[in-house]
């Protein structure tokens, strides 16, 4: 439950981040003052403009000032890279979240489901009860691959059980209650 809440919060945060990234791409980017000069002059009549760094007259299509050698390249690609990175990260995180936590979650729930018939077997064959286990809920991982869980029985009671995962085999023990 706690994990699910955390996961939902992270998913929502990532969704917002993703929308923000899309918004950044779609919105007309605020032009660098330099870019404005460039497009203004190149789109209109004049073929030269003053270099924004040294003031010398240069060609409006120049990518480097011939006087002060300052690069006049547009800064846009950088923004594109950052936005691209944000989107890539958001997507990667979304994919990771979509698979990893659900894998972790399904590991526990498959453990719970697999342990149900084992608990029923122990109740019947070792303890001589006729009650069946109908559900199991893992409470805590007490050690690596060792879980304490609550087993719910069809007579309305519940018992504490221990589940141990050895490779892909599951061992269930029922401590004295
Ligand atoms: Zn210059």
Tell me the pLDDT tens digit for each residue of 59-118. Answer: 988 889 999 999 887 666 677 778 888 888 888 887 877 766 666 667 788 889 999 999
Same domain, 80 and 156: no
Q: What is the CA radius of gyration of the chain?
A: 32
Domain count along the chain: 2
Same domain, 50 and 72: yes
Same domain, 27 and 44: yes
SS3 at position 99: helix
Q: Do 143 and 125 contact (CB within 8 A), yes or no?
A: no
Same domain, 92 and 13: yes
Out of 30-34, 160-164, 169-173, pick the least confident: 30-34
Q: Do 73 and 63 contact (CB within 8 A), yes or no?
A: yes
Of the three residues 74, 103, 132, the one that is the final residue of a domain is: 103
Per-residue pLDDT of 25-53, as tens digits, reads 776 655 555 555 544 444 555 789 999 99
Of the three residues 52, 73, 103, the one that is the final residue of a domain is: 103
Residue 42: predicted pLDDT: 45
Instruction: Using a CB cutoff of 5 Å, list residues around ligand 1, an ion.
Output: 51, 53-54, 65, 67-68
Q: What's the average model confidence in pLDDT over 7-20?
A: 77
Same domain, 32 and 74: yes
Same domain, 157 and 114: yes
- Ligand 1 centre to CA of 72 (Å) is 9
Q: What's the average model confidence in pLDDT over 148-170?
A: 94
Same domain, 66 and 127: no
Alpha helices in the chain (DSSP H): 2-26, 33-43, 76-121
pLDDT at 18 over 80: no
**Residue span of the structural domain in which 9 resides:** 2-103
- Ligand 1 centre to CA of 29 (Å) is 25
- Ligand 1 centre to CA of 58 (Å) is 8
pTM: 0.45
Same domain, 135 and 55: no
Q: How many CB atoms lie within 10 A of CB 147?
A: 22
The helix-helix angle for 76-121 and 2-26 (nearest 10°) equals: 160
Tokens of residue 6, six digits: 């955390």
């Amino acid at each position: 439950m706690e994990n699910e809440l955390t996961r939902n919060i992270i998913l929502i945060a990532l969704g917002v981040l993703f929308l923000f990234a899309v918004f950044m791409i779609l919105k007309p980017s605020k032009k660098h003052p330099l870019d404005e000069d460039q497009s203004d002059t190149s789109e209109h009549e004049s073929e030269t403009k003053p270099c924004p760094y040294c003031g010398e007259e240069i060609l409006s299509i120049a990518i480097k000032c011939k006087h002060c050698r300052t690069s006049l390249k547009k800064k846009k690609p950088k923004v594109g890279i950052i936005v691209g990175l944000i989107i890539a990260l958001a997507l990667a995180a979304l994919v990771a979240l979509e698979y990893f936590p659900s894998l972790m979650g399904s590991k526990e729930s498959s453990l719970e489901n697999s342990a149900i018939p084992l608990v029923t077997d122990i109740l019947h064959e070792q303890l001589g009860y006729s009650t069946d286990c109908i559900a199991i809920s893992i409470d805590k991982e007490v050690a690596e691959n060792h879980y304490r869980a609550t087993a719910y029985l069809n007579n309305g009671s519940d018992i504490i059980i221990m589940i141990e995962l050895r490779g892909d085999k599951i061992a269930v023990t029922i401590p004295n209650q």
